[in-house]
A and B are shown apart, each in its own frame.
Chain A
Amino acid sequence: MARNNEIPEVNAGSMADIAFLLLIFFLVTATIQTDMGLDRKLPSKEPTPPITFNERNVFRIVLNKNDELMVESEIMQLKDLRNAAIAFLDNGGESQGDNDDCSYCLGARNPNSSDHPKEAIISLNSDREATYGTYVTVQNELTAAYNELRNRESQRLFNMDFVEMEQRYFDAETPSEIKKVLKENIMAIRDLFPMQLSEAQTNQIK
């Protein structure tokens, strides 16, 4: 009887396939996701001197515990909030011809609404029982209102959307000379429609 003493060699040809399978699995599952969200700046802890402002310059939004919205003492649907905020910010109620009237505002110039975008303050009160999802929706609509107005002015002055300018500015691949110009433009637009969102804690509204 002929005996074969040599150990037969295992065919390792399919090993590569198995390893590739594992590799692809890890590549697919471990996606490096970037988080996205709404940026906000909280007010500083240091007490600020009380600023005096006219009641017409404040846009009061109240979110109650049933996630219902009250804007300027009237119940409003969330989908109408954006346009209401735009109308308020863009009003430019200061009479035309004054030194500080809003030359770029296209609003109704209602004397009972905001004088100037630079003076317009949006005040948001949310009940402790309100849900976070609704709160984010409100914040999203307010950001959209500001973005829409800023885009309009940005298109008029620089032929580019404000949102796009910001994106280009934060893009790491944009060269620094362009960034410098973009930063100036962004600051100019932000100055036209400064975001003044107050979230003072008030507990008396129940």
Chain B
Amino acid sequence: MAKFAKKKDGDLPAVSTASLPDIVFMLLFFFMTVTTMKDSSLLVENTLPNATEIKKLEKKDRVVYIYVGKPTQEYQKVFGTEPKIQLNDKFANVDEVGSYILAERAKKPQELQNVLTTALKVDKNANMGLIADIKQQLREVNALKVNYTTYEGNAFNNLQ
């Protein structure tokens, strides 16, 4: 008889939560692998200007990025404080822009090669001469669609 009396009255058995961490870790690893943080390795200062009349730059697979700005603190000893162009994690000269665009274009699938946009992420303190040179280079390789990437905000804040 004692064997049957062992059971306690009406107590629900606790649901085992031992596998919960596994599930959450699975989610965690999923997010860690999917979200790439490529843009974090900027070699140049990149405070974008503000603008109001902006359009979203959708479809990231058809965008080529060019960064311009003065080198960050740690690179200033080597590269000086004049604004430089950054292409794919390294500094470049103006005449390398054309070949970079062509190389990036060749990497894209055939059907996207004619609809690529070049996003110019330029620090607001850079000077226009460098931009004009880049634009000339883009014209040379027939990459005519450009996007001056900005933040959303009052454009007159750029003047300070």
Interface, chain A (partner B; CB < 8 A): 12-13, 15-16, 18-20, 22-23, 26-27, 30, 32, 34-45, 63, 67, 78-79, 126-137, 139-141, 143-144, 147, 166, 170, 172, 199, 201
Contact = CB atoms under 8 A, between A and B. Distances in A.
Nearest to A142: B53
A130 B51 contact: no
Residues of B in contact with A, size category: 35 or more
Contact of B24 (A16, A32, A40): A16
A133 B147 contact: no
Given A136-B148, A144-B52, A166-B55, A129 B127 contact: yes
Contacts of B55: 36-39, 166, 170
A137 B156 contact: yes
Given A45-B140, A132-B127, 11 more contacts: A13-B17, A19-B21, A26-B28, A26-B35, A37-B150, A38-B148, A41-B145, A44-B139, A133-B124, A135-B128, A136-B51
A23 B27 contact: yes
A199 B128 CA distance: 12
B56 interface: yes
Nearest to B32: A26
A12 B121 CA distance: 47
A136 B147 contact: no
B128 A136 contact: no
Contacts of A143: 53
Nearest to B118: A42
6 contacts: A15-B20, A30-B37, A34-B58, A78-B156, A129-B127, A201-B132
B52 A140 contact: yes
A143 B146 CA distance: 15
Interface of B (DSSP majority class)? mixed
A169 to B, nearest CB: 11
B106 to A, nearest CB: 19
A17 to B, nearest CB: 9
A20 B20 CA distance: 10
B150 A136 contact: yes
Interface string B37-61: 1000000000001111111111000
B31 A30 contact: yes
Contacts of B51: 37-38, 136-137, 139-140
B139 A38 contact: no
Contacts of A140: 51-53, 150, 155
A128 B18 CA distance: 65
B32 A170 contact: no
Contacts of A199: 135
Interface in B45-92: 49-58, 63, 68
A37 B119 contact: yes
A32 B139 contact: no
Interface string B117-155: 101011111111101100110111011111111111001
A130 B35 CA distance: 38
